Structure 1
Amino acid sequence: MHNYICETCGVQYESSVNEPAACTICNEERQYVSSKGQSWTTLEAMVESGIYKTEVSVEEENLYRVQTNPGFGIGQTAYLVKGNGYNVLWDCVTYIDEETIEAIQQLGGIDAIALSHPHYYSTQVEWAETFDATLYIHEDDKKWVTRTSDKIVFWSGDSLELSEGINLQRIGGHFKGGTIIEWVEGNNKQGVLLCGDIIRIVADREWVSFMYSYPNFIPLPSGTVERIAHRMEDLTYTRIYDAFNRVIKENAAEAVQRSAKRYVDALNGELFHT
Structure 2
Amino acid sequence: MNKFICNTCGVQTESAESAPEHCSICTEKRQYVSVKGQSWTTLEEMVQSAAYQNEITSEEQGLLSITTVPSFAIGQTAYLVQGENFNILWDCLTYLDAPTIEKIKALGGIDAIALSHPHYYSTQVEWAETFDAAIYIHEDDKQWVTRPSDRIIFWSGETLKVAEGFTLHRIGGHFKGAAILEWKNGDDGKGVLLTGDIVRVVADREWVSFMYSYPNFIPLPASTVERMAEQLDEIRFDRVYDAFHRIVLTDAGAAVQRSAKRYVDALNGVLFKT
Deviations 1:238-261 (A, max 9, x none): 000001010000000000000000
Match of 1:42 in 2: 42
Match of 2:202 in 1: 202
Paired AA for residue 115 in structure 1? L
Paired AA for residue 193 in structure 1? L
Match of 2:97 in 1: 97
Paired AA for residue 210 in structure 1? F
Displacement of 1:63 in angstroms is 0.1
CA distance in 2, matches of 1:203, 1:14: 37
Match of 2:53 in 1: 53
Paired AA for residue 128 in structure 2? A
1:162 aligns with 2:159: no
Structure 2: state its 5+ residue gaps.
none
> The residue matched to 1:224 in structure 2 has which SS?
helix
Paired AA for residue 240 in structure 1? V
CA distance in 1, matches of 2:150, 2:160: 19
CA distance in 1, matches of 2:169, 2:66: 21
Displacement of 1:21 in angstroms is 1.2
1:212 aligns with 2:212: yes
> The residue matched to 1:16 in structure 2 has which SS?
coil
Paired AA for residue 48 in structure 1? Q
- What TM-score do the two structures reach when normalised by structure 2? 1.00
Task: Output aligned runs, 1:11-50, within 5 Å.
Answer: 11-50=11-50
CA distance in 1, matches of 2:149, 2:169: 23
> The residue matched to 1:2 in structure 2 has which SS?
coil
CA distance in 2, matches of 1:234, 1:183: 14
> The residue matched to 1:44 in structure 2 has which SS?
helix
RMSD: 0.4
Displacement of 1:54 in angstroms is 1.0
Question: Taking every aligned residue pair, what percent have the same amino acid on both sides?
Answer: 66
CA distance in 2, matches of 1:79, 1:115: 11
Deviations 1:37-83 (A, max 9, x none): 00000000000000000121111100000110001010000000000
CA distance in 1, matches of 2:74, 2:175: 16
CA distance in 2, matches of 1:209, 1:240: 12
Paired AA for residue 146 in structure 2? T
Task: Output aligned runs, 1:22-171, within 5 Å.
Answer: 22-171=22-171
Displacement of 1:209 in angstroms is 0.2
Deviations 1:110-152 (A, max 9, x none): 0000000000000000000110100000000000000011100
Paired AA for residue 113 in structure 1? I
CA distance in 2, matches of 1:163, 1:220: 31
CA distance in 1, matches of 2:252, 2:163: 23
Displacement of 1:204 in angstroms is 1.6
> The residue matched to 1:213 in structure 2 has which SS?
coil
> The residue matched to 2:3 in structure 1 has which SS?
strand
Deviations 1:202-239 (A, max 9, x none): 11211000000000000000000000000001111000
> The residue matched to 1:11 in structure 2 has which SS?
coil
Higher share of residues assigned strand: 1
Structure 1: state its 5+ residue gaps.
none
- What TM-score do the two structures reach when normalised by structure 1? 1.00
Displacement of 1:178 in angstroms is 0.4
Match of 1:264 in 2: 264
Q: How many residues align?
A: 274
CA distance in 2, matches of 1:21, 1:39: 9
Match of 2:227 in 1: 227
Deviations 1:161-195 (A, max 9, x none): 01111100100000000000000000010000000
CA distance in 2, matches of 1:80, 1:205: 22
- Deviating runs (4+, > 4 A) in structure 1? none
